[in-house]
Structure 1
Amino acid sequence: MSKIKVAVIGCGAIAQRRHIPEYEQNPNVELVAFCDPVIERAEKYAEKHGAKAYADYKELLAKEKVDAVSVCTPNALHAAVAIAAANAGAHVLVEKPMAGSAEEGRAMIEAASRNGVYLMVGHNQRLMPPHVKAKEILDSGKLGRVLTFRTSFGHPGPEGWSVDGKGSWFFRKGEAIMGAMGDLGVHKSDFIRYLLNDEVADIAAFVGTIHKEGTDVDDNATCILRMKSGAIGTLVASWTQYKGGDNSTVLWCENGVMEIGTGAGDQVEVKLRNGSVETYKVGAMATNEKQTDSGVINEFVNCLVTNTPPSISGEEGLRSLQVILAAFESQATGKVIAL
């Protein structure tokens, strides 16, 4: 089988730390083009792979015949780049949040469908080993129905992660559209939907900028969710967890409690009402400090190799995005928003 020709558009932190290294490790992939407005970033990888470097994604798509594209640009460009790639006949893997608005998200889904290509959103939380295990346990039914939950994702903020530090696009609303909610909150709205196999029915939220100076994007959010099943819980996203960052989820169920990533980040603990305790150490979750394989690239490439539509589809990405957009609406109006 010939290798899948891939272009990476946007060569910042997420491309450098996850997409490019994970493509490099995949035997089915040939990296043929890189694009970044800071051309030196693209040239560095182009040189390494005998590929082409571009400053403009439109020029790349016009000149290169690629099978697939990773969209690793600032959030505001996700839709435009993804639609252009789909129109060029390339399968698309787009970073989260998939878009800045529901309209953009729908346009991306429509473009992929019209061009007969796949659209996958990089919601890596579904693929983290503790989360895969938690889903398996919950689906087994041993815990019964989920009654209440909390899910949280926080770290010190993108200044330590982004290639541009404090000058990062993450802090500029025109490019980022949203802050901690687009960076972390959307991961958790996606994860809780996936884990509970349920949709958010209503959301009330406080979203604001509490501590990051000189930015007009949110650095914290606390949301209350009611699911269609009736389960209620909280979702927290934070860029100000300067010590003791968090990526944990706790589910209180009819038959006991499941704690995911609460103590050691690599484990799932099930405490049943009958007194038994089960601990599953299943491998670590990727963090900004400790880059383990996110699983996203292998999942995407596998979809292309086996001709299987991605489970983390554009439609799934859109549903997870709509939860976050509703949280902003709740903050703006002071009302509970029905989805």
Structure 2
Amino acid sequence: MPVIVPPHQPSQQTLTSDVRQQFSAGSAMVPESGEGVTRTCRRRSQLRVPGWRPGRSGSASVRVGCCGRSFPTRGAPVRLVTRNCTIRTPAGRSATVNQHTRQGPLTTTEKRLPKTSGGMSNRLVDPTANVLLGTASPLAVSPSNRRFRAAMVGLGKQGREDHLPALAASPSVDLVAVCDADDKAVALVESEYHVPGYTNVVDLLDGEDLDFVVVAVPHHAGRDVVLAAAAHGVHVLKEKPLATSLDEAQEITEACQAAGIELMVTLQRRFNPVYTTFPQLYDQIGEPFLFEASYTMAVDPSSGWRGSNRLAGGGCIIDMGYHIIDTLLWYFGMPDHVLAHTAAVARPELDYDAEDTAVLHLSYDSGLFGTVLLSRCIAPKTEVIRAIGTRGSVVLERGRIRRLDNDGTAVEALARENAWPSAAAAQLDHFRRVLMDQRPNVSGAEAHLAHAAVVTAAYASAASGQMVDPKELIA
């Protein structure tokens, strides 16, 4: 008689044959042995199936049960059964399988997949037959039936005002927990959103069944949070910057790749139609040869951890300037040379060492060059990117973009009111689709090595007074 290994038994529990009456087809079944069968709980362990992933090439794994994979002792053979399961092949084709049975060692691996409207996701993948094995909904379910479990890590202003409302309002994501080192902040959000709170991210990851975390923590705390999530096989939606240094960015990237998780850095401008229109207009101004960008505001440069080079990794370049650097990399690509000048003298009565103002000169071997002004101490708040070509220019401001001819006459323009409130929700929805292989991750960890290289080059140039090639830093 076979012994059924159910997906929800406690860790290290020895099973006997009489438990098989309690569970239906779809469980893993192994031949009964004299000592019974042991199920080991490996919560959120991350393993790979070489050469296969639903809908694309690469490796994949699937989540089994509520807390890990089930397997027999001593590598005993296992039979996996499914009934009437619609599956998706690597080529993207769907098929229906009736009573599919696979005999052999249980070598299938797991990945954290979102829950479906039908409840707990108990799934096994057969990489040989390319079928989904188990009783839960198939991989190819529609977006409306797919729900994700997420936690908010970091309950500062950005977490409370941007990400928490987006999570709470999402039709496809359930906010199931929050975490912050400040127990008072946790208590307030617990009562407002009626979810459990944690003051330690490892406790959160151990205590909750999560698909991903949204991370909005001080720069110096980001690394440990991401590495902990990767170790638990939990995806990450992270506030900028990716890291406080290039070495740290490379460490995070490697950890995410090794764990097989997605990390996406949040950058609102990528989801704003005014900014996404720029490349279309830029193509119409002839041969571009010059650009200028500025992002300035008047805030307290000594405020909290942001005033400390040690904690923030820098000042206006790596913090607010990260948005502009991302936008310029998006529009023009990686510069070949960076020359930077920085200062931390605008508010001598305050105690801080992170730069409050910086000017960057970026140049490209193509002949394009430009300047970037960043400051925490220049009012009013202003954000402008202007590109000049042989047949006109494009001027991008915070809520408006215009294409001008060579005499400055507006040829076309686009304006958007209330451009920012929906950014957090749009990013959340995009990340959900990334996890379902419906959208590319255009802001992943590996892509942000370029950002880290430009930031590192800027600080190296400011220290040495010499031009620095950021491409050489990641060659």
Q: Match for 2:373 among 230, 233, 236?
A: 236
Matching residue within 266, 273, 292 for 2:399: 266
Matched residues in 1 for 2:318 and 2:369: separation? 22
Residue 337 of structure 1 and its aligned partner are, at CA, apart by 0.7
Q: CA deviation at 1:83?
A: 1.5
- Name the counterpart of 1:92: 236
RMSD: 2.0
The answer to whether the Cα contact below 8 Å between 1:326 and 1:337 also exists between their aligned partners in 2 is yes
Out of 433, 442, 466, the position equivalent to 1:335 is 466
In the TM superposition, residue 6 of structure 1 has moved relative to its aligned partner by 0.8
Q: Residues 255, 20 of structure 1: CA spacing in aligned structure 2 closer, same or farther, 3 A cutoff?
A: same
Q: What corresponds to 2:441 in structure 1? A: 310
Structure (1/2) with the larger helix percentage:
1
CA contact (8 A) 2:167 2:175 kept: yes
CA distance in 1 between counterparts of 2:417 and 2:450 reads 27
SS in 1 for 2:423: coil
Q: Say which SS state the counterpart of residue 446 (structure 2) adopts.
A: helix
Q: Which has the higher contact order (CA 8 A, sep 6+)?
A: 1
SS at match of 1:155: strand
Does residue 64 of the first structure (1) align with residue 208 of the second (2)?
Answer: yes
Query: If the length of structure 1 is used for normalisation, what is the TM-score?
Result: 0.89
- Could you tell which deviates more after superposition, 186-195 or 305-314? 305-314
Counterpart for residue 389 of structure 2:
253
1:132-161 Cα offsets, whole Å, 9 max, x none, are: 1112322xx2212321001111111267xx
Distance in 2 between residues matched to 1:331 and 1:285, nearest whole Å:
37
CA–CA distance in structure 1, aligned partners of residues 441 and 244 of structure 2: 21
Cα separation, 2, equivalents of 1:39 and 1:84:
20
Write the distance in 1 (CA, Å) between the matches of 2:341 and 2:303: 26
| 8 Å CA contact retained: 1:185, 1:235 | no
Q: Which amino acid aligns with 1:235?
A: V
Counterpart CA distance in 1 for 2:164 and 2:202 is: 20
Q: Using the alignment, how far apart are the partners of 1:153 and 1:274 within structure 2?
A: 25
Structure 2 equivalent of residue 173 of structure 1: 309
Question: Could you tell me whether the CA contact under 8 Å between 1:22 and 1:298 is conserved in 2?
Answer: no
Q: Which amino acid aligns with 1:57?
A: V
Q: Does the Cα contact within 8 Å between 2:430 and 2:439 map onto a contact in 1?
A: no
Structure 2 residue corresponding to 1:78, chosen from 215, 219, 222: 222
Q: 1:1-339 to 2 correspondence within 5 Å?
A: 1-138=145-282, 141-157=283-299, 167-196=303-332, 198-212=333-347, 213-241=350-378, 243-261=379-397, 265-273=398-406, 277-284=410-417, 291=421, 293-294=423-424, 295-339=426-470
Identity of aligned residues (%): 24
Contact residue 284 and residue 292 of structure 1 kept, 8 A: no
> Using the alignment, how far apart are the partners of 1:292 and 1:60 within structure 2?
28
Code of the aligned partner of 1:107: E
Is the contact between residue 180 and residue 220 of structure 1 (CA under 8 Å) also seen in structure 2?
yes
Name the amino acid aligned to 1:154: T
Greater Rg by CA: 2
Letter of the 1:155 counterpart: M
> 8 Å contact 1:172–1:216 — kept in the other structure?
yes
For residue 19 of structure 1, report the CA deviation from its aligned partner. 1.4
Deviation, structure 1 residue 86: 1.5
Structure 1 residue 276 displacement after superposition: 5.6
Is the 1:199–1:228 contact (alpha carbons within 8 Å) kept by the matching residues of 2? no
Cα shift readout 1:26-60 (whole Å, capped 9, x = no counterpart): 21111111111111212322333332101111211
Tell me by how many angstroms 1:121 deviates: 0.9
Q: Which amino acid aligns with 2:392?
A: G
Q: Following the alignment from structure 1 to structure 2, what is the Cα–Cα distance between the partners of residues 286 and 210?
A: 33
Q: Spell out, residue by residue over 1:171-200, the C-alpha distance to the aligned partner (whole angstroms, 9 max, x if none).
A: 23332121111212121111011012x211
Say if 1:48 and 1:302 are closer, same or farther in 2 by CA, change over 3 A. Answer: farther
TM norm structure 2: 0.64
Question: Match of 1:85, as an amino acid?
Answer: A
Verify the 8 A CA contact 1:204 1:223 in the aligned structure 2. Answer: yes
The equivalent residue for 1:163 is: none
Which segments of 5 or more consecutive residues in structure 1 lack a partner in the other structure?
Answer: 160-165
Secondary structure of 2:448's counterpart equals helix
Q: Look up the match of 1:162.
A: none
* Structure 1 residues 167 and 282, CA gap change in structure 2 (3 angstroms): closer
Letter in 2 for 1:335: Q
Hey, what's the Cα distance between the residues in 2 that align with 1:320 and 1:67?
A: 27
Give the Cα–Cα distance (whole angstroms) in 2 for the partners of residues 114 and 233 of structure 1.
38
- Give the direction of change, closer, same or farther, for the CA distance of 1:81–1:228 in structure 2 (3 Å limit): farther
CA contact (8 A) 2:361 2:370 kept: yes
Q: Which runs of 5+ in 2 are unaligned?
A: 1-144, 471-475
